[in-house]
Chain A
Amino acid sequence: EIVMTQSPVTLSVSPGERATLSCRASQSISSNLAWYQQKLGQAPRLLIYGASTRATGVPARFSGSGSETEFTLTISSLQSEDFAVYYCQQYSDWPPLTFGGGTKVEI
């Protein structure tokens, strides 16, 4: 099973600042990585697939990078609506599909 590890667990930032979230896979997953955003009480929302491609309707301030085992989600200038929990997920070697433990982005 591929283990996905996210860091940090909590990221405290101010509106307008840049946020950098990390995700590490226990073995190479090429670019088979997705990022999701989940706000309190809501369903997860797909942000990034293929490690770096924004899903439809996702603002350009969200960008994904990385390959193999190291991945990054960057939010270039945090808006109030971006405060949420972010999950990475691998779709390379499955089942099982595996998610990271999440990073909470807070004010």
Chain B
Amino acid sequence: EVQLVESGGGLVQPGGSLRLSCAASGFTFSSYSMNWVRQAPGKGLEWVSYISTTGTIYYADSVKGRFTISRDNAKNSLYLQMNSLRDEDTAVYHCARVRRYYYDSSAYFRALDYWGQGTLVTVSS
């Protein structure tokens, strides 16, 4: 059974730092790209960051320069280092697996097929 379990959230003051972790099990972690997606209280889903199997990394403009995504395939874990935190970073942070659905020999659709329950990050003084 595929499982993604986030941890590391908590209350932090503006300007502070946190490191989130996502422990993966039930699949070959090194074979999948991963994302962080967040959800502010009562709001919709917002993509945060992506890391591929080969280390390609992307960030949302809202977190670029402040957040760093990384992965440790030996530990089956995904991380998000969050620095210079702001009030607007308050959210539940989910990790999500990227699945490729091939409809041709080389063409595929992507979707986020498994998500963790999330860890709450609260930025407040």
Contact = CB atoms under 8 A, between A and B. Distances in A.
A45 interface: yes
Nearest to B116: A43
Interface string B90-117: 0000101001010100000111111111
Contact of A50 (B44, B103, B113, B114): B103
A46 to B, nearest CB: 5
Given A49-B111, A95-B50, A87 B44 contact: yes
Given A96-B60, A97-B35, A91 B109 contact: yes
Nearest to A46: B113
A53 interface: yes
Contacts of B27: none
Contact of A100 (B44, B109, B110, B118): B44
Contacts of A36: 45, 112
Shortest Cβ-Cβ A-B pairs, 4 listed = A49-B111, A50-B109, A97-B47, A43-B115
Interface of A: 31-32, 34, 36, 38, 42-46, 49-50, 53, 55, 87, 89, 91, 94-102
B44 A46 contact: no
B44 A96 contact: no
Interface of B: 35, 37, 44-47, 50, 58-61, 94, 96, 99, 101, 103, 109-118
- Pick the most buried of A42, A95, A102: most chain B CB atoms within 10 A of its CB: A95
- The dominant DSSP class at the B interface is strand
Nearest to B108: A50
Nearest to A44: B115
Contact of B112 (A34, A42, A50, A96): A34
Given A50-B109, A94-B58, A95-B47, 8 more contacts: A43-B116, A43-B117, A50-B101, A91-B109, A96-B47, A96-B58, A96-B61, A97-B50
Contacts of A96: 47, 58, 60-61
A34 B100 CA distance: 12
A16 B58 CA distance: 43
